[in-house]
Every structure is written in structure tokens, then in C-alpha cells.
Structure 1
């Protein structure tokens, strides 16, 4: 069995380091980088959108050649949802971790406009001409994203966050149908101490995605840093339901 981990905004595949180790008893585990992980002020970077993330993940799954467990964090909820619509035969189960679940013709900015708090938007700085959005290295940002992480880990991870292509937030999902996205099994890890996407809003994501299995963790938005062992356990529970 193959398990594919997809990071969220401002992160890289390295965020899954401890999760990779924990899931290896279940099969082959892959953590992949989305385009733009190394910021370059170039024409290539300026063109990046969420569609490039979708293509990257689709091609990776095709290279594996069998249905995979696909796990996505935060922004990656949009990517994995669109891939499930486009290539449902390549996915055995989607698992969302404190993730945004879109509907047809929605982008992340559309969803963010409907959530019950401003989330991390107050700590984000956009540079449209560069197609770049980055997070301030502020105490408030740290308290929003890593509020249940040990202080030293929280500070280290905040400093390591990288710029994200801005168009990844404004690219609209094309279409999600019952026959495509709707046919794929889904689970959701709800993070109860999340200050980026509040539990109330995570519940809305669960309902709009018609998610069948929900697991709860008393963690912040990034449990792979603060509570990796607990996250591994619920991921194992979810994966074992379809074995």
C-alpha cells in the first residue's frame, strides 16, 4: 500500500518527517513537495497556480500506478479534492488534516471569506507582482499556527516557513461531482485547539465534503509538529478501516 502526504501552505514535505516514520509499518510512505518550495523571482514562479499543484500530485499518483491513501493538510485540502475529482481511480481514501474542503468554483480566498474568524490572514503579507504571499515572523503568527507546540519547536517552525505562490489561494476548483470527488472515501482529522481554522469551521468543511469518518485531536493547526505520535495513531486508525 502507498500513502502520499501533501503539505499545506508555507510548508514543505519536510514537515512530515515524524509522520513518515510512524506510518512505515503500513506500507510505502511518500511526502512530496508542491511547486514553488524554493522561492525564485522568476517568470516560472510567477505563473504558478493551484492547477500546478493538482498536476504535480496527479502525475505522482500515476507514477505509483495503484490506488493510494492521500493525506492533505490545510490548503492541500483543495489540491487533493480536485485530484479526487479528476482521477478517483487513483485514490483509495482521502484524509484531511485541519484542511479546507472546497465546493465547485471555489478558491481558498472564497472559503476563507466565510469562516468565523480571520485566521492567519492578519499575519500574511501579499506581493501580487511577485505571486508571493508570506507569513510575518510575529509572536501572533506563532500563537495562531503553533499554539500547542513546545515553544522551541514553534519558534523554529515559524522561522522555517517559506513564501507561497499567491495564485494557489485564488485558483478556483473547477468542478466536484458525485461521480468523481463524491465517490472517494474520506476521513477528517479535526484539530480542537486550532486557531487558524476553528473547530466550528472544520465541522463545516466536514459537512460540505460529506466526510464519513471524523477523528478528533486536542492539537493546534499543525499536529505533525506538536503531537506527531497522536496524529500517527489516528491516521493509522483511519487507514486500517479500508484495509
Structure 2
């Protein structure tokens, strides 16, 4: 049912555990992507459809958008779903901007979970190109805020009890900690309304987020200058619904609520596609 309305032990302290949030699909990025060519209808030029760029969040990969991509492509939209490095808002936004630079024409930028933090940074300065921002069960941070802090702002997340922190050391001595959701808790925590077999695949292919990314402060908030849409998931155990509402209202986003888990792009692809198309058609 859908109805409309106008983030070790240190991680246990934020309901969101250590994982800002989630999801997106395989790297389908070509060196240059352009929208549907401008056609004519009765001698009148028809604007090109914007390219839809889908940014996944933590504990997911680009394939989490697959069912949404199928629907958007069927509707005639060019779609790009790049891999999100999940290393930190600033560096991840820089990577996403390199994707945007290769796309010709207008863009609708969509972020799921932590991907919302990334698109909020990446779109700043691209106001002429990025026509709309769409937040899917996502963070809409203000400058100076962190995923950890926003997750702690309201009760409701159980992610802290579901995560596993895995230290790593890279060649050259650089070290850090990656955060995963434990496989035996993945479905209940992240994708409770996704079929068990599909959730098992998602758990096996989840991509971790750097723990440091969850405490890195955002520096930009593109939702202040670009029209925004938000899909709030009311059965979300990663980002509390109250936190999603707070951020969406603050951003004056066009908001829709749906009874769904955090993995809404997998469980309710029609609803996700619908709000993306609303943003795309309203801002053309």
C-alpha cells in the first residue's frame, strides 16, 4: 500500500549500527550516454528523455536496481547504474561526478540509502544538468551531518546488532574496517519482504561500506537547489522511517510512503520506478 504526502562496539551506539544504508545495479556505464534523441511529433520537437543514474548504497551492488532498470528501459529511458565505491561521501561523490561527466543531456539522479548522501554531494554544481534528485529510503544530509548521526537521531534501527566489522590491510600498509551485515541476519534486517532465495543472493553479493564513511561529514546538500523526490519505507530497520521523514520534510521533497523494507527497489520495483518517472516527467 502506497500513500502520498507533499548508520565493533562503537557502532552499537547508533541504531543504524555501522552501516549507513544501502543499494544499486552492475556497472553499465559507457564512455558516453545520451538521452533518447529529440524526435518530432506533428512537427513539434520532443525533448530528449533524461538519463536515469542509479546510485546504490551499502550492503548492495548495482544489481539491486535490476528490476527497476528493466521497467525504466521498457519505458524508453536510458539508464546507468554505476558501482558505488562505498569509501566515503567525498570520494564516492567524486567518482559519481566522473560518471555524470560522460553523460550527454539531462540527468535524473537517484540514490538509495547511503547513495542519497553521495548524490547530494555529487549533484552540487551540476544544477544545469541534474534536473531532479530522487531519494529511495535514503539519507538527505545537511552539510556537517553524518550517516551515523542521522541514524541516531531517531529510534528504530536494529542494524547495530546485525553488522560484522572486518578489518583489512592493503598493499602499502593502509588499513581500515569494512562493515557487512551478517548473512544469517541479512533478510530480516535488510530485505524482509524479499523472497528468501533472492535475499540469500543479495546477502552473498553484498558490498561492504568503509566504517569511516559513516562518520565522514557531508559538505554539500544539492537538494537545496535541485527539485527532490523521496520514497520513505515504513518497515525499514536500517534508516528509521522517522529519520527519513525528518530529512524529506526539511528538503521540501515530494514525498511518498510505502510499507516496505529497506530493500524496496527489489521488493517494490513498480513503486520505485513510478516515483523516478514522476521526477523525470515533472522536470522535463
Match of 1:10 in 2: 59
Match of 2:184 in 1: 138
Larger Rg over CA atoms: 2
Match of 1:165 in 2: 210
Match of 1:27 in 2: 77
- Please report how far the alpha carbon of residue 9 of structure 1 lies from its aligned counterpart in structure 2 after TM superposition: 0.6
- Please report how far the alpha carbon of residue 136 of structure 1 lies from its aligned counterpart in structure 2 after TM superposition: 1.0
Post-superposition Cα deviations, 1:150-200, rounded to whole Å, max 9, x if no partner, equal 222222222221222222212211143xxx541101000112222222322
Q: Structure 1 stretches (4+) deviating beyond 3 angstroms?
A: none
The 1:217–1:8 alpha-carbon spacing in structure 2 relative to 1, beyond 3 Å, is same
Match of 2:258 in 1: 217
- Please report how far the alpha carbon of residue 147 of structure 1 lies from its aligned counterpart in structure 2 after TM superposition: 1.2
Equivalent in 110, 131, 148 of residue 149 of structure 2: 110
Contact conserved, 2:56 with 2:62, CA < 8 A, in 1?
yes
How large is the Cα RMSD of the aligned pairs?
Answer: 1.9
User: 5+ residue gaps in structure 2?
Assistant: 1-49, 168-174
Is residue 96 of structure 2 the alignment partner of residue 50 of structure 1?
no
Is residue 283 of structure 2 the alignment partner of residue 237 of structure 1?
no
Task: Give runs of aligned pairs for residues 143-162 of structure 1, distance below 5 A.
Answer: 143-162=188-207
Q: How many residues align?
A: 227
- Please report how far the alpha carbon of residue 210 of structure 1 lies from its aligned counterpart in structure 2 after TM superposition: 2.3
The 1:184–1:110 alpha-carbon spacing in structure 2 relative to 1, beyond 3 Å, is same
Contact conserved, 2:234 with 2:261, CA < 8 A, in 1?
yes
Partners of 1:187 and 1:33 lie apart in 2 by 22
Contact conserved, 1:3 with 1:27, CA < 8 A, in 2?
yes
- Please report how far the alpha carbon of residue 27 of structure 1 lies from its aligned counterpart in structure 2 after TM superposition: 2.0
Partners of 2:202 and 2:157 lie apart in 1 by 21
Equivalent in 99, 103, 121 of residue 82 of structure 1: 121
Post-superposition Cα deviations, 1:128-163, rounded to whole Å, max 9, x if no partner, equal 543311111123x42121111122222222222122
Partners of 1:226 and 1:161 lie apart in 2 by 16
Equivalent in 183, 190, 196 of residue 232 of structure 2: 190
Q: Match of 1:21, SS?
A: helix
If each structure's helix is expressed as a fraction of its own residues, which one has the higher value?
Answer: 1
Contact conserved, 2:133 with 2:226, CA < 8 A, in 1?
yes
